[in-house]
Amino acid sequence: MIRDRNILCFASGWDYHPTSKHHIMRKLSEHNHVVWVNWHASRRPGFKSGDLCSVFGKLRQIRCGPQRVADNITVVTPPQLPLPGSRWAGRINARIVSSAVRDVLGSLEPRPVQFWSFAPDVAMLAGRFDEELVLYYCVDAFGEFPGYDRAMIARRERALIERSDVVLTTSEPLYEAKRRLHGNVHLVEHGVDHAHLSRAVHEPLPTPPDLDVLPRPIIGFVGVVGQWVNLELIAGLARCRPNASIVVIGPTATSIDVLRGLPNVHILGPRNHDALPAYLRAFDVGLIPFRRTPLTLHANPIKLYEYLAAGVPVVSTTMPAVRPAAGAVWVADTVPDTVLACEVALLNNDPSERRARSEATRAHAWSARLDHIGRIIEDTLSPGVSSDRQTDAKCDASTPEPEPVETTVG
């Protein structure tokens, strides 16, 4: 168990759609103080409306200063120059961010500091806070996201790995790629807020009004609608099952024109995580319709665990982290196969089967994941345990970012 620490978390926006890092940090905050540092210098923004809205949002957060968003969670958004290819901008960002983080730490009870990064490009910050541990938590193939410079992210990620004491990965492909770069790499798959989501099978939650009026069955998707989501597959399913309701819940980060005009497709937009059990209780099938790309091949979709914890049968496209499971998960990649998989899933959807799926997912609760991580950290901090990092990054906290070294991260 990780206790009595000030944990620095470098990650994308706290106010974004909840992800694994949000769940982990909320859990850690039960026994530690978390300082979430909104890191937004990984990608140069464009002139698209989404990027411009994000820029203005960041400016508002910067103006507000550090915010206590929970009893033991402080969120800070330091000013940053979103010029990831510029070395001088990187040095300026490092100074500004370091100063802002030290100010927050100075306001907290003095405790050992741990440096956790979900961002791949913050190596220049490691070692600046007299931290007892640097942990890189790799949850995605970051260079594959739209708008990211793949080669630059690979170089910066390599630098962070070299400065880390321990590296955690969330899928087999990520683990295989990173274990070649560091001597202390572990596979820790995503978890789930089981106590919250299992309410879908244990409590008579009322159906949300926007679903209560829809014809059954309800085949749903929850998550960010990005370029990695196969919207053509969803559209094909909707056309083949005109009597079913296809529901999409979550923020939209790409064009959804292919779904417009389909009368049985319902784009609901984001919903609060607190309301998710009621929505999942109303789902008859949960979809994971990801395209086959380098990004998704390295992914471990958290929604798989969320659907199952709520008892929902799952139909997913093929990816290493999603395997068929009798009575729980069916894999299909074409429209006809997806239609057939949904039909079979609907036949495995009585209350006892939903309870069994939920119970089988209990072992994946975030508390179990953090117990595992705690043991890894304890072993890492134990005398005699070595890592690739050693003391080079801590001996001079003002050391600029290392010169780029070309590398390919699988």
Domains of the chain: 6-191+366-381 (3.40.50.2000), 194-362 (3.40.50.2000)
DSSP single-letter state for residue 370:
H
pLDDT at position 61: 67
Burial of 333 (0-12, 13-18, 19+ CB in 10 A): middle
| C-alpha to C-alpha distance for 393 and 149, rounded to whole angstroms | 25
DSSP single-letter state for residue 390:
T
pLDDT tens profile 322-339: 999 999 999 999 999 999
Name the strands in the sheet holding 329-331, side by side, starting at the edge strand that comes first in the sequence: 265-269, 245-249, 218-222, 285-288, 314-316, 329-331
Of 250, 252, 310, 259, nearest to 284 by C-alpha is 310
The angle, 0 to 180 degrees and rounded to 10, between the axes of the packed helices 351-360 and 302-309 is 130
Tally the residues of the chain. Answer: 410
pLDDT tens profile 215-227: 999 999 999 999 9
pTM for this predicted structure:
0.88
Q: Kindly report the CA angle at 245 between 240 and 251, in degrees rounded to 5?
A: 110
| C-alpha to C-alpha distance for 35 and 10, rounded to whole angstroms | 9
pLDDT at position 209: 97
Taking 70 as the pLDDT cut, the residues of the chain under it are 41-59, 61-62, 384-410
Q: Kindly report the CA angle at 213 between 207 and 214, in degrees rounded to 5?
A: 95
Instruction: Using CA atoms of 233, 234, 240, 241 in order, give the dihedral in degrees to the nearest 10.
Output: 150
Sorted by sequence, the CB contacts under 8 Å of residue 400 that are 6+ apart come out as 87, 90, 91, 94, 124
Q: Kindly report the CA angle at 129 between 41 and 401, in degrees rounded to 5?
A: 45
